[in-house]
Amino acid sequence: MTSIANPTFDSATFLANAGLGRTIVELKPKQTFFCQGDRADAVFYLQKGRARVTVVSQNGKEATITLLSACDFVGEESLASIMGLHLATATAVNTCMALRISRNEMIRVMHDEPTFADIFLKFLLARSMRAQADLVDQLFNSSEKRLARILLLMAEFGESGQPETFIPPITQETLADMIGTTRSRVSFFMNRFRKLGFISYNGRIQVHKSLLNVVLLDQLPDHNAQRPAILPVP
């Protein structure tokens, strides 16, 4: 039987407010939404702030899978046909506001409200495409170019509206985990980016549009060059 859409249902209102099966939670930096191995019984919608998703191997090594920003969902594994466990840990990078949607409520609204299901499926598709792009980046690009891409993603270049050029606080160890290199190499690349005018750093990292040339046009000078030829970025 085909469900009939509720003409009064508004996805933005649903995701902005608490209600049946939905609670708004506030997390301080380093607090967790859920931990690896916890019961997967809810999906979170990030209303404000930034978070990261990490996994820990059996020998205790931690790796960052992805970074989250406002309007992202996390914990979608809760929707599996058989309730299982979270395979990763989601942690607030800065102060976060999120809507916690219980598994049962998320399943209900996905079934009853096609407009919401469409929004969620588009998000899952975008996340899948991002994961594929991350894999290609890891396989074929240099660690320096991978770092440039991560910084641009954190600054939200390419998203609608103006990019947040000041990225959230993040350690060089975390950046090294994300691009598969050492902290010392990240430090070397960051200092080089700063000397070339791609980023600024005064307590917080600010990403400039010129860094796009490293990723889109592969314009990175030799190590003994003074400054790259920068093409205008619209």
pLDDT of residue 5: 59
Residues 184, 97, single domain; the answer is: no
**What is the separation of C-alpha 17 from the centre of its chain, rounded to a whole number of angstroms?**
23
Give a yes or no: residue 209 inside a domain.
yes
Is the CB of residue 76 less than 8 Å from the CB of residue 112? no
For the stretch 184-211, what's the b/e string if a residue is b when 16 or more beta carbons lie within 10 angstroms of its beta carbon?
ebbeebbebbeebebbeeeeebebbbbb
Top mean pLDDT of 64-73, 210-219, 222-231 is at 64-73
Give a yes or no: residue 1 inside a domain.
no
Tell me the whole-structure pTM to 2 decimals: 0.75
**Amino acid letter, residue 133:** A
Rounded to whole angstroms, the Cα distance separating 95 from 127 reads 23
pLDDT at 232 over 70: no
Residues 58, 83, single domain; the answer is: yes
Residues 23, 123, single domain; the answer is: yes
Give a yes or no: residue 228 inside a domain.
no
Q: List, for residues 100-150, the tens digit of each pLDDT value.
A: 999 999 999 999 999 999 999 999 999 888 888 877 777 777 888 889 888
Position 191 confidence tier, pLDDT thresholds 50, 70, 90: very high
Q: Rounded to the nearest 5°, which phi and psi values hold at 144? A: -65, -45
Which domain does 148 fall in, by range? 141-216
Q: List, for residues 52-104, the tens digit of each pLDDT value.
A: 899 998 888 888 888 898 999 999 999 987 888 999 999 998 899 999 999 99
> Among 133, 126, 148, which Cα is nearest to 216's?
148
Give a yes or no: residue 226 inside a domain.
no
Among 136, 170, 193, give the residue marking a domain's end.
Answer: 136
